[in-house]
Amino acid sequence: MSRRAPKIAPSILSADFASLASELATIDSADWVHVDVMDGRFVPNLTIGPLVVEAVRRSTSLPLDVHLMIVEPERYVQEFARAGAATIGVHVETCPHLHRTINQIREAGARASVVLNPSTPASSVEPVLGDVDQVLVMTVNPGFGGQKFIASMLGKIETLRRWIDERGLDVALEVDGGIGPETIALAARAGADVFVAGNAVFGARDRGEAIAALRKAAQQAA
Ligand code: DX5
Ligand code: ZN
């Protein structure tokens, strides 16, 4: 099994939007920047669109991991790719034609990520596992930062890790929601290799230290 070095992706949902550029400067030791796009329909919250993604793009050299929590995401894939998304994640719950949407993301030049709500089983992405660059297992119900990690998702992470390794696939396994120094160890042990963290990074006074602590905890556990 060739486990990759853990990647830390701070979620700007917990950042101060009035000073995004300086907030982004505090996380330059991270690997990716996670950007949560919410439409007030798929999830109750409303956040940002391609215009802000484009502004984030200009303010950091880190790749943008864009998490679309919107209905009919296929309508906006092109726009988010053009705005500078390196990775575009779509929820399987919003994609009746998931295989087509994955291809659309890749044709737009981005990495394709498929995202699973806590109540959605691993089997829902099994048929497309060979067609994606990433699977994102939600460890909270999407919509808000600062929620509690749902530990019963660990089995789903283990299952996906097993399938990815058995098939020798080059697919990143990401977790999002309630990740902190303790829960990151559980997720890493279960097989995740990319870790989104909102509050655990932006709630810390020293963001660099928070990122280093998360990275260390993930490395030690894996
Ligand atoms: C939740 C978002 C997450 C959120 C994570 O819907 O997808 O990315 O910002 O925040 P924490 O790490 O605070 O749970
Ligand atoms: Zn997210």
36 counts as catalytic: yes
Q: What integer pLDDT is reported at residue 4 of this predicted model? A: 82
What is the pLDDT, as a whole number, of residue 222?
Answer: 85
The active-site residue, picked from 36, 39, 65, 193, is 36
Per-residue confidence (pLDDT) for residue 3, from 0 to 100 = 65
User: What would the pLDDT profile of 104-132 be if each residue is shown by its tens digit?
Assistant: 999 999 999 999 999 999 999 999 999 99
Q: How far is the CA of 148 from the centre of ligand 1 (A)?
A: 10
Sorted by sequence, the CB contacts under 8 Å of residue 207 that are 6+ apart come out as 10, 26, 27, 201
Residues of the chain with pLDDT under 70: 1-3
To the query of whether residue 31 is one of the catalytic residues in this protein, the response is no
**Nearest ligand 1 atom, CA 142:** 6
Tell me the pTM: 0.98
In tens, the pLDDT along 191-213 reads 999 999 999 999 999 999 999 99
- If you search the block for the tokens 């977790």, which residue do you land on? 175
Q: Which ligand is nearest to the CA of 66?
A: 2
pLDDT for residue 1: 44
CA distances from 49 to 33, 46, 142, 177, 219 (A): 15, 9, 17, 21, 34
Among the options 31, 133, 176, 193, which is catalytic? Answer: 176
Q: Is the alpha carbon torsion for 35, 39, 40, 42 positive or negative?
A: negative
Q: Rounded to the nearest whole angstrom, what is the distance from the C-alpha of residue 93 to the centroid of ligand 2?
A: 15
* Residues 193 and 173: beta-carbon distance below 8 Å: yes
